[in-house]
């Protein structure tokens, strides 16, 4: 039982770490890192939308990120794009978890 709980905790930690750090960054310049993150965030947004799970602010974050990148503030732009990426992943997971939803217990 204890081993099982440990495995679960380790799994959860891995998931949380993955979400907090986002995907591995490519390229060595701040611009390349931002552009890579932006592309990954766009893909995550598209994936969430494909299951009707897109969250409200993803588009807004990406738009703001693009504006910041235009001004050369790649660090701030990267942070926003990563936020959009995480929300895209979560929206997708949420929508999948709700596909077979039925009447909740308080209705029964």
Partner 1 sequence: MLKRIITLAGTLGLCLSLATPAQAGPKEDLARFQHFYLKRFPGVPLKEFANGVYAIDKVSRENWEAIEEFPPYEPYVEEGKEMWNTPFKDGKGYKDCFPDGPAIKADYPRWDAASKRVLTLELAINECRQAHGEKPLKYKKGPIAILTAYIAWESRGKPTHVVIPDDPDARAAYERGKRFWLARRGQLNFSCATCHAQNAGKHIRADILSPALGHTTHFPVYRSKWGELGTLHRRFTGCNKQVRAKPFKPQSEQYRDLEYFLTYMSNGIPLNGPGARK
- Residues at the interface with partner 1 (CB under 8 A): 49, 52-59, 87, 90, 94-95, 97-99, 101-104, 106-108
Closer residue to partner 1 in complex, CB, 50/75:
50
CB of 40 to partner 1, least distance (A): 19
C-beta of residue 82 within 8 angstroms of C-beta of residue 95: no
In order of 50, 65, 97, the CA distances from 101 in angstroms are 18, 35, 8
Whole-number Å distance between alpha carbons of 64 and 60: 6
Closer residue to partner 1 in complex, CB, 52/75:
52
CB of 84 to partner 1, least distance (A): 12
CB of 39 to partner 1, least distance (A): 20
Task: For the beta carbon of residue 108, count every other beta carbon within 10 angstroms.
Answer: 6
């Amino acid at each position: 039982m204890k081993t099982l709980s440990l495995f679960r905790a380790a799994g959860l930690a891995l998931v949380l770490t993955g979400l907090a750090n986002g995907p591995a960054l490519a390229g060595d310049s701040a611009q390349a890192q931002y552009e890579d993150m932006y592309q990954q965030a766009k893909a995550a947004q598209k994936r969430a939308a494909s299951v009707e799970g897109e969250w409200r602010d993803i588009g807004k974050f990406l738009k703001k990120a693009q504006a910041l990148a235009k001004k050369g503030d790649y660090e701030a732009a990267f942070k926003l794009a990563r936020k959009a990426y995480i929300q895209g992943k979560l929206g997708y997971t949420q929508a999948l978890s709700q596909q077979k939803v039925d009447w909740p217990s308080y209705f029964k």
